[in-house]
Each structure stands twice: as structure tokens, then as C-alpha cells.
Structure 1
Amino acid sequence: MGIDDKAANKADELTGKAKEGLGRATDNERLESEGRADQSKSDIKQAAEKVKDAFKR
């Protein structure tokens, strides 16, 4: 996994956490669920990158 990919995935994850937290604080269910979706998307990308790295070895 390249450093750029790791940084982008981590940024997506942090953005998702921020959205989820802001959604909870403002009682905005749409923003909260959007944040959870962003985190899930980031987790899937990270898993895919790990699989790619495993096959490169």
C-alpha cells in the first residue's frame, strides 16, 4: 500500500468520524449515517490495499 493511499484512506476515515460526531452533536441523523458510510468505505479501501500488498509478496 502506497503512502499516498494510506494517507487518503486515513483522511476519509477521519472525515467520516467528524461527520458522525457532528451529526450526533446536532441530532442530524443524515449526517451521522453519512459519516458511518464514509468510515465503512475507508475500511473497505484499506482492506483491499492490504490484499493487494499480500499478493505482491
Structure 2
Amino acid sequence: MVRPNAPFAKALPRNAYPGARWVQPVVYVDIAYGGRTGDGMLRHPSFKSAAGIQ
């Protein structure tokens, strides 16, 4: 389940998350959020439902 890099299409800055451990998603969820911050992070994200299991 652990992977060597972030599972995002757009690369993250190398120092954005020092010490992060990236994993391959196996459960997908639906979320809602109020928008994005200036650096692309989700603003006020909330869980809605489980969408599926890989």
C-alpha cells in the first residue's frame, strides 16, 4: 500500500510535506469543500460518503 511518491497528477513541491508517507488509495470517498486556498489546498473539506473500494 505504501508508494514512493504522491498519488496526484500535479507534482507537489519537494518540501511541502516533509516526512509524509504516501499510500495507494484503496477506499474512495465523496467529499465536499468550500474552495481552495491560494496554494491549492482544500478549504473546509468534509466527508460525504464512501464511493467505492478498489
TM over 0.5: no
Length-normalised TM-score, structure 1: 0.20
Length-normalised TM-score, structure 2: 0.20
The answer to which structure, 1 or 2, has the higher relative contact order (CA under 8 A, 6+ apart) is 1
When Rg is computed on C-alpha atoms for both structures, the one with the higher figure is: 1
Higher strand share: 2
Higher helix share: 1
